[in-house]
Structure 1
């Protein structure tokens, strides 16, 4: 298969001095999944975890910078790190180091601000933009990098511009066609129109609601956090057989927010989605989100039927899960089936 790692190629490359990179461990290994999620919840910014394993006396990468903050946690061996001042403070994702490779290489020739050896148990913090390179010393070196992807003012700027783009489409003046016979090769031919557009957009910027911008920023940020996977068949079966004693648990790593009621509806924001529910479900939703886990019968403010209706909606929309849900064994009630199927067991 084309996407399979060739173990003999890994061995050959590692023996030649290449670094092995294990990416996305925050999605693969339970202890790091929990750690990265807890850290992201505390910081308010998405996180990731990679591992780097470098052979003795080898350098992982040439001097470069990252567009996110990094915590280096040395796990095994020793690594010599050299850190230099940024050539571009606080770079964005659209401003990678290779776009400034010459400046990075020149800056890396200067005096480092940190020149240190990390040993097991040591940690190093690298704000985004700081140049860094590292060389493994006399044995194999292994370290984790905890990447923190900052939510920036530029992200807020993009959210504002996205919102203006939507709002301004309602402006009939901005929807007008430019004149027939227009010569776009002549900049002066569109000067008046561009001036009018800029003036109109300034007006639309003044109408932007910060709450709407915050919602867009939240959607973009929460979309980077993957909640725990669900077992579709098991959860579908559980949703169809809910009872008052069924335990519901809010899906792990799912970011949620319960909005204030609007009329007879209340909005539950969950990850990148929003659910509108009857306003009378708000006490039950608030209780479940606060507790993290409740029996259906303990959802407050609802009668028995409404408790089951809400619980079923939350499970089928993957907001909550039934922790002990299993897929039923279709043969469990037919122990003697082989006696009644011609040829079975022959």
Structure 2
């Protein structure tokens, strides 16, 4: 993914740009296009034929998000759902200068499903994809910042982008741009860091917090925005503190009346608890770190999705002892040996296996492609039984579907 979105190599991007400063990558320097990910024809297909529903679509014009009834309607007999897109209404709003935003395309459009899976693997952070379709000489949104990093990929047409330095660096999801309207209005009166026109094939990386505004020129502009929800040190700290819930001391009630105490008394209580936290972190560092790592892994698993399984293909493969299988890409899991068993810990459940399955499970977890009848450490019959269960549990998939 990075090789398509960045004019520099992955290591340079990680060291010099990630979370630090914008990067403009011109298709002139590194010829590319993004029409395989989305195209004008694909946009029409999504709007006209794919039954898109809110919140997978929204419209905006001149900084204002439009009411849903401007572009949604009933779907008719056999699909009595009132929040599907009305393509005729969308046409009318586009003609009037509205920007169409197709959201969550990594869940809807096959090329972007694969592309975002690659992005998550490359970046190690959750990612998603939206498309912005803006008619000529129009803009959808006022100058603002995002609370996630973005890669802007110009698909077709042209769009002018004006980028200014942050007024609030590294904003969290709880710190939206609307809290800093006055500072943003003042900052955008200064000289921009970037003022450029993106043409088809150009890409722009913006770390969260960088101010930006964009306007289509004399043709309809389509661009993709790959949003990346970066894990922060604060996220790690929160998982560590959450792990203190396993320590009885921190589950006890504070003295009666503490919420109504004067400021000095409240400060004394806060200072005392902070000292206890520091002591607990020091004395139980190994245990708390292990638990926090599990929580952080679960958090990541909750924000990402492994590749989808094809149920009928999986059931068919489960009956074939000669099928080649591999780990389901993107499935977060842990393997441990415990009391003569092998424990597979998934985000939503735990599965145990006989110790004899350990070698086969670890081989699959490493990403090896293995034939059901030739799993290491198991005879063909036992290997077929293990693969059958793993297929039905959506842990492995037929290798061709990886």
TM category (shorter chain) comes to 0.7 to 0.9
Asked whether the 8 Å contact 1:174–1:197 carries over to 2, the reply is: no
Instruction: Say if 1:265 and 1:279, in contact at 8 Å, map to a contact too.
Output: yes
Is the aligned partner of 1:314 residue 2:390? Answer: yes
Q: State TM-score, norm by structure 1.
A: 0.82
Change (3 A) 1:77 1:324: closer
Moved more, 314-323 or 86-95: 314-323
CA distance in 2 between partners of 1:154 and 1:135 (Å): 35
Partner residue, 1:215: 294
Q: Offset of 1:146 from its aligned partner?
A: 1.4
Say whether 1:185 aligns with 2:265.
no
Q: Secondary structure at the residue paired with 1:70?
A: strand
Which consecutive unaligned segments of at least 5 residues does structure 1 have? Answer: 326-346
In structure 2, what is the equivalent of residue 58 of structure 1? 138
Counterparts in 2 of 1:2-13, with a 5 A limit? 2-13=82-93
Could you tell me how far apart the structure 2 residues matched to 1:267 and 1:25 are?
A: 35
Bigger Rg, which one: 1
Tell me the secondary structure at the aligned position of residue 223 of structure 1: helix
Listed as ranges, the matches of 1:1-346 within 5 Å are: 1-164=81-244, 166-168=245-247, 170-171=248-249, 175-176=252-253, 178-179=255-256, 182=257, 184-187=259-262, 194-206=270-282, 207-208=284-285, 209-232=288-311, 235=314, 239=318, 242-259=319-336, 261-271=337-347, 273-322=349-398
CA contact 2:373–2:381 (8 Å) conserved in 1: no
Write out per-residue CA displacement over residues 64-100 of structure 1, whole angstroms, 9 at most, x where no aligned residue. Answer: 1111111111111111110000011111111111122
Root mean square deviation, CA, Å: 2.7
Change in Cα spacing, 1:132 to 1:244, as seen in structure 2 (3 Å) is: same
Structure 1 window deviating more from structure 2 (117-126 vs 285-294): it is 285-294
Q: How many angstroms apart in 1 are the aligned matches of 2:349 and 2:195?
A: 46
Q: How many residues align?
A: 317
Distance 2:115 2:293 in 1: 26
Following superposition, the deviation at residue 114 of structure 1 comes to 0.5
Query: Counterpart of 2:305 in 1: which secondary structure?
Result: coil
- Asked if the contact 1:60–1:133 (Cα under 8 Å) also holds between the matched residues in 2, the reply is no
Native 8 Å contact 1:222 1:272 kept in 2: no
Structure 2 residues without counterparts, runs of 5 or longer: 1-80
Give a deviation string over 1:74-132, Cα, whole Å, max 9, x none: 11111111000001111111111112222222212221111111111111111110000
Q: Secondary structure at the match of 1:144?
A: strand
What per-residue deviation string (whole Å, max 9, x for no partner) do you get for residues 165-212 of structure 1? Answer: x123x22x8525635xx4853426666655543333332232243232
Higher mean Cα deviation, 300-309 or 220-229?
Answer: 300-309
Cα 1:22–1:183 shift into 2, 3 Å: closer
Are the counterparts in 2 of residues 223 and 272 from structure 1 also a CA contact under 8 Å?
no
Residue equivalent to 2:69: none
